Each structure stands twice: as C-alpha cells, then as structure tokens.
Amino acid sequence: MRITVLGSGTCELRSERSSPAYWLQAGGRGILLDLGQGAWRRLLDYGHQAAEVDAVIISHPHPDHMADLIPLLFALIYDPQLAATARITLLAHTGLEPLLLALNQAWGDWLNPSPEVLTRHWLKAGDQAQVGSVQIATATAQHHPYSLAWRIQAGGRSLVYLGDSEATSELARFARGADLLICHCAGTDQEPKTGHLYPSACGQLAAAAGAGSLLLSHFYRVVDPEEAVASAAGHFGGDIWAACDGLRLELTADGAAEL
C-alpha cells in the first residue's frame, strides 16, 4: 500500500501546498482520497494518469476537498480517451447526492457522466464498500453533517483517513491498529480550530487508536509542521511525518517508510 500526498494544504491558495488530496495505490487499484483544487495537476505532475483512477472518495463537501471533482465529471464526458476507458466509483456521504444534482442543474448535462463511466456510491457512517479487493469502512467524522472518516484495507495493510474532524472516542476505536493514521492538523495547540484537530490531539488520537504511524497534514500557514510533529510526539511513540506535497509513504509489514 502506497500513499502520495497531492495536497497538504487547506483552502489557502498557496503554490507549495495544494488543497487536500491523496493518491492511494492499494490492492492493484488507484484511489483518490479527496479532490481539492490542484489535485489533478499534482497527480499528473507526479507521473500518474487519470486512467489509473478506479475510485474517488470525498470526505466531506467543503469546496477545498472536492473542487477538482468538477473537472473530472466534465472530462468523463468530453475527454474522448478517458470517457472511452474510465470506470470510476465515486464514494461519498449520501448528503453529497443533492449537491451533485444541483451541479447538474447549474451546468446541465455537461457534468453528468453516464452511470457506466461513473458509479455513484452513497454511504452513511457505518456502511462498507469494496473496490476490487480493497475493503472500505466508514465512521462519523466530527466536522460537517456529511463528513465521513474512511478505513481502507488491502493486502494486510490498513490506512485511516479522517478528513477534517475533531477527535472522538468512536474515531479512536475506528482507527484501532491502523498502519497509518492521516490526521488533518489545522490549528495549533494554543489556537485550535473548531471542527479540526490540533497537534497534541493528533498524537493523543494516534496513541489511543494504537496506530502504527501518523501523518499530519492540512497545514494552514499558522501551523509550523515541525512544531506540530514535536507536539504530537509528546503523546505518540510511533513514526510521525509532516505532509508536504509529493511525500510518498509505503506501508509494509515492517511499518511505514518514506520513498
């Protein structure tokens, strides 16, 4: 299982940190975790192609986590190469369906690819799904009414992507024993942001979950990534990485390692 950070940033418009998106290669499948603006440019610049995408997971419908869904919907109809070959599953909270319908109303059928090309799979917390041999489970993330946390398992490895969320005991249970926990560290310990995690809370959550390693991401300018790692390390003894765009981690039986 391999994860590439496409966007380690937030809604802030920055060249060095694109909006939230991650490229997961697991069980022979390619899965995008969120599609913040700039995700496609990063994916292509990092040597991948849209044709490699089997599934897209949207954690919650804030624009910086899903803005690049719009160019995908358009390309699935009007990019002849992609439209002919792509078979993509979109997985998101059921609350996203009306938003997609509203997009269709605003743009007409320009953004309405056929169900053969794009399978819409709407879920609620506790639902499960499968992409090939990749097992996917969901839980409630504490951030937006339509937020979901995602647990992804393949080939004996597991990753938990919380998206934006506060810490809850349910999420600690949900992430139990994951090889890698991805936490969105949006505020500082001194100035936490409502609806988000902050560095020491990320470390506490990873420790409570018994996770193997921790990836801190979703950095606003006010958060110093190195300070965030140090703060999380005060609570969690496993490996901790501060995400930057382009960071690649491989999860093996020996743990997570940077490529």
Residues that bind Zn ion (CB under 5 A): 62, 164
Smallest separation, CB 22 to Zn ion (Å): 13
As given in the structure block, the two tokens for residue 147 are 């937020």
Identify which of residues 46 and 220 has a Cβ nearer to Zn ion in the complex: 220
Identify which of residues 68 and 164 has a Cβ nearer to Zn ion in the complex: 164
Q: Is 112 helix (H, G, I), strand (E, B) or coil?
A: coil
Q: What is the DSSP string of 26-92?
A: ETTEEEEEEE-TTHHHHHHHTT--GGG--EEE-S---HHHHTTHHHHHHHHHH-HHHHHH--EEEEE
- Is residue 139 within 8 Å of 149, Cβ to Cβ? yes
Identify which of residues 164 and 166 has a Cβ nearer to Zn ion in the complex: 164
Smallest separation, CB 101 to Zn ion (Å): 21
Smallest separation, CB 195 to Zn ion (Å): 7
Identify which of residues 192 and 255 has a Cβ nearer to Zn ion in the complex: 192
Smallest separation, CB 20 to Zn ion (Å): 6
- Is residue 7 within 8 Å of 17, Cβ to Cβ? yes
- Is residue 242 within 8 Å of 214, Cβ to Cβ? no
Question: How crowded is residue 165: how many other Cβ atoms within 10 Å of its Cβ?
Answer: 25
Smallest separation, CB 65 to Zn ion (Å): 6
Identify which of residues 19 and 158 has a Cβ nearer to Zn ion in the complex: 19
Smallest separation, CB 219 to Zn ion (Å): 11
Identify which of residues 222 and 257 has a Cβ nearer to Zn ion in the complex: 222
CA distances from 20 to 157, 185, 257 (A): 23, 12, 21
Smallest separation, CB 19 to Zn ion (Å): 8
Provide the b/e sequence for 64-90 (b: ≥16 CB within 10 Å).
Answer: bbbbbbbbbbebbbebeebeeebebbb
Residue nearest to Zn ion (CB): 62
**161 Cβ contact list (under 8 Å, min separation 6):** 22, 33, 57, 59, 149, 150, 152, 182
Identify which of residues 157 and 196 has a Cβ nearer to Zn ion in the complex: 196
